[in-house]
Amino acid sequence: MVTRIIDGKAVALGLRDEVRRRALALRERGVVPGLTVILAGDDAASATYVRNKERAALECGIAGRTVRLPSDVDALTVLRAVEEANADPGVHGILVQLPLPAGLSRAECQEIERAIAPHKDVDGFLPVSQGLLLLGQPSFLPCTPAGCMRLLRSAGIEVAGRRAVVLGRSAIVGKPLSHLLLAADATVTIAHSKTPDLADVVRQADIVVAAVGRPGLVRGAWLKPGVCVLDVGINRLPDGRLTGDVAFDEALGIAGAITPVPGGVGPMTIACLLDNVCLAAERAAEGH
Ligand code: NDP
């Protein structure tokens, strides 16, 4: 079997083009879509993610602003930054880059993350956003799960009536994606670190999503011939290369389609964030 490689970069570029057109239409109506990112601390990976988001926003005609706070910042100062962005009509989307500095307690981090106004929650992480997703009335879809669903659509993968196995149950990827697959009429199994016989569970899937963070966990021999594999994992190997949660070379020739790492799900996450910012600005322009 020839395995089709799903080109996430190309699909993401298409979505970014669409966002650019919508942002331009908004600007013509006097509304400049705005995204504020709150970055506290000096985590190198977070700084890179935020720079990428700033650059991507700019390219799409979205005004990106990053509020940079020191690593010894207190909770009140971060909360004030969120409140200011909440009150600013020029800011349509807000995100707090995680992880927050280690000096902040778990309760403080939760309070900060939950202070974002729901109509500006472009990450879709607020309890109210997740609750609406569960009820099938989403406001903003969390970006990585939304990106996965878009990839399935663009690759023409039938979801309704198929068996989907999602590896990983985090609040930002595994759980919300499971609900989106369920809403698209898949029969969904969620597997995690306590799931016995993972290989047997995966073997039943027509669609496998790996969102675990363990390089090469999913072996080629676990896959049903023709399965569609979405590899969300991003793992850095000792030699510096990035790799996914699926043994990619083993999957070739068995899977019907697969996303590579890098260049698969990753580029979709930022594109879906920009899509959400544009959506928030469109809603604001309509007075919602
Ligand atoms: P978390 O660490 O929050 O969750 C990992 C999940 O994997 C948990 O549910 C855990 O189970 C499960 N797990 C861990 N080990 C195993 C195992 N051996 N077998 C089965 N399940 C296991 O990670 P995230 O959801 O935040 O991220 C997952 C991966 O996706 C990471 O590599 C991350 O870098 C990547 N990622 C990529 C994004 C992108 O844009 N492409 C965006 C976000 C994340 P349990 O709950 O039992 O502990």
173-230 pLDDT, tens digit per residue, is 999 999 999 999 999 999 999 999 999 999 999 999 999 999 999 999 999 999 999 9
Of ligand 1's atoms, which has the minimum distance to the CA of residue 261? 41
Q: For residues 209 and 258, state if they share a domain.
A: yes
Q: For residues 95 and 158, state if they share a domain.
A: no
Q: For residues 191 and 257, state if they share a domain.
A: yes
Q: For residues 152 and 258, state if they share a domain.
A: yes
288 pLDDT higher than 80: no
Q: Indicate whether 109 belongs to any domain.
A: yes
Tokens of 181: 């697959």
Q: For all residues of the chain together, what is the average pLDDT? A: 97
Q: For residues 167 and 100, state if they share a domain.
A: no
CATH number reported for the structural domain that contains residue 247 in this entry: 3.40.50.720
275 pLDDT higher than 90: yes
22 pLDDT higher than 90: yes
Nearest to 207, CA basis, from 149, 263, 261, 264: 149
CATH number reported for the structural domain that contains residue 75 in this entry: 3.40.50.10860
> For ligand 1, atom 40, which residue shows the shortest CA distance?
266
Of ligand 1's atoms, which has the minimum distance to the CA of residue 213? 32
Q: What confidence score (pLDDT) does residue 218 get? A: 98
Q: Indicate whether 215 belongs to any domain.
A: yes
Residue 63 lies in domain: 30-117
Q: Indicate whether 221 belongs to any domain.
A: yes
Percent of the chain with pLDDT over 70: 100
- Catalytic residue positions, numbered: 53, 97, 123
139 pLDDT higher than 90: no
Q: For residues 174 and 219, state if they share a domain.
A: yes
271 pLDDT higher than 80: yes
Q: Indicate whether 253 belongs to any domain.
A: yes
Of ligand 1's atoms, which has the minimum distance to the CA of residue 269? 40
Which of 11, 130, 193, 208 has most ligand 1 atoms within 8 Å of its beta carbon, as the pocket-test mutant? 193
Q: Indicate whether 47 belongs to any domain.
A: yes
Q: For residues 155 and 210, state if they share a domain.
A: yes
Q: For residues 73 and 151, state if they share a domain.
A: no
Radius of gyration of the chain (CA): 19
Which of 6, 212, 273 has most ligand 1 atoms within 8 Å of its beta carbon, as the pocket-test mutant? 212
Q: For residues 162 and 251, state if they share a domain.
A: yes
Of ligand 1's atoms, which has the minimum distance to the CA of residue 147? 40
Boundary (domain end) residue, out of 101, 117, 133: 117
Q: Indicate whether 169 belongs to any domain.
A: yes
Which of 170, 178, 237 has most ligand 1 atoms within 8 Å of its beta carbon, as the pocket-test mutant? 170
Could you list the beta-strand ranges (E) of the chain.
4-5, 34-40, 63-69, 93-96, 163-167, 187-191, 207-210, 228-231, 235-236, 242-243, 257-258
> For ligand 1, atom 22, which residue shows the shortest CA distance?
193
Percent helix / strand / coil, the chain, rounded to 5: 45, 15, 40
Count: domains in the chain:
2
pLDDT in tens, 141-181: 999 999 999 999 999 999 999 999 999 999 999 999 999 99
Q: For residues 72 and 167, state if they share a domain.
A: no
Q: For residues 247 and 154, state if they share a domain.
A: yes
pTM of the prediction? Answer: 0.97
Q: Indicate whether 138 belongs to any domain.
A: no
Q: Indicate whether 243 belongs to any domain.
A: yes
Residue 34: pLDDT band with limits 50, 70, 90: very high
Which residues are near ligand 1 (CB < 6 Å)?
144, 167-170, 172-174, 191-195, 198, 211-214, 217, 232-235, 265-266, 269
Crossing angle for the helix pair 143-154 and 266-285, to the nearest 10 degrees:
110
Percent of the chain with pLDDT over 90: 98
Tokens of 70: 């020191």
Q: What confidence score (pLDDT) does residue 138 get? A: 80
